[in-house]
Chains A and B, each alone.
Chain A
Amino acid sequence: MIKFALGLCLLMLVACTPAQTGVLPYIDLSVRTPLPQAAPAELAHLRVGVAAILSPQGTVASYSHLAEHLAEKLGRPVDLVQRRTYAELNDMVEESQVELAFICTNAYVVGSEQFGMELLLAPEINGKSVYYSRLIVPADSAAQSMDDLRNKVFAFTDPMSFTGRIYPVYLLQQMGQTPERFFQRTFYTYSHDRAIEAVADGVADGAAVDSLVLDHALQRNPELAARIRIIHTSEAFGIPPVVVPPTLPPRQKAQLRDLLSSMHEDAAGKEVLLELGIDRFVAIDNAAYDGVRAIVHATGIGE
């Protein structure tokens, strides 16, 4: 009887053992090889730098179609290159690691002074190539001006950002204040869309952001309007430009300028521009950035 019961148990044991379905493939993890080097590209890639005005994902979402459009027109692959800070991207432009860059106004002001960064074109929106710095607070905040943000938490975008850092510091300077004394605490978000989110989520009590980014975000995401409030808009400044390294061959510079400035002339290009929230690319004069230059030099930061 005992043998019979044990036999039964053994049978159950065999029946209940979890069966691995089929024969598993085998990989010996101890067999290591050095990683293969990437094969050199057959065609030279056009490297397009985009400053972290938007978050990396936002940049990819906005600029990937532009990159595809350029690749199609140029007949060679286009790589979007991003870096965390404006300074890093400026370095890449200086060292010609990118052939084309979409950067912030201050980055241009600094770059042109430091290594002769060259203006290529600038976006035009509603017939103007200007933008503003807008001071935003959470919708439920009682603040009406910069003065009301005393002892609050303030979000800067990038140390080199004109609208996101230099302009608000300039405002404080006019009030005879410094961020360190005026605010309880400040932090960097390293992009304008993150700064907007930080204010909307109440992480920051205020932030100064690029009007182009803010308007675009409000257009794409209407419920955002219920979560933030604009308490101040600056005077008009020259719009963030498209630049090239000073070493870029003139033929290539001309090719890129022609390509970009004629984009609005065909339907596919128009669609790409619409996604970027601009009407077309136009030539711009260095003098358009004198307003920015004056404030940068007045604050003496971000250089």
Chain B
Amino acid sequence: MDHDSNDEDVSSAGKKREGRDATSSAVSSVDDLVERLRSRVRERRSNGEYPDGLEEALDAHFRRIVFHRSRPHLGQLREAVATFDERLAARPRDVGADSGVPGGEMLHRVVNKAIARQRQALVDHMSDLADAMRDVVHVLVDAVQDPANHVHGDLVSRLDAILERLDSYERRPVEDAAAVGDLRRRVEVLEQALASQQASSRQASSRQASSQQASPG
């Protein structure tokens, strides 16, 4: 890495900037400097200091990180809950006593008054029910929004299974090493047996050759 000479390049580019007060020349001097930096990147890449596809690999890495952390779109749910809250907050409208029939208005008033107590009780009951329902909805929404607040049993069991398999993979190299060691030991035994067998057969053949030479004609 020719770092010093590169620094000199940058330094000289920086010195060239001195004495230029116009904005355009300042921009051009920065652009010169940037071009020198670009050529330095190219040089490092051609020298093998930067691996090919480095930037693309880093971008792809970050995209993978983001992809695995995307969350569901809950905007529509929030809007629905807001509408629900607004409607619950609205007071029940009074029932009018208007009537097109003579004496009808009086009759409506009497009926309204007669059932007012029961109606209020009913409204109170419905309000209590609605409040309870609103609480339930909010708890449910919170649970949906926060993954820590709810559990998917089916996913957990699958995850457990995957983790177990992962554990077995992680354990396997240790077992493989033992197996390889055992095989190596057995091969060594076989090699030794073969070597001694070859040595004894060589001895036998040399003895046979020498006996043949010793016997005349």
Are A and B subunits of one complex?
no
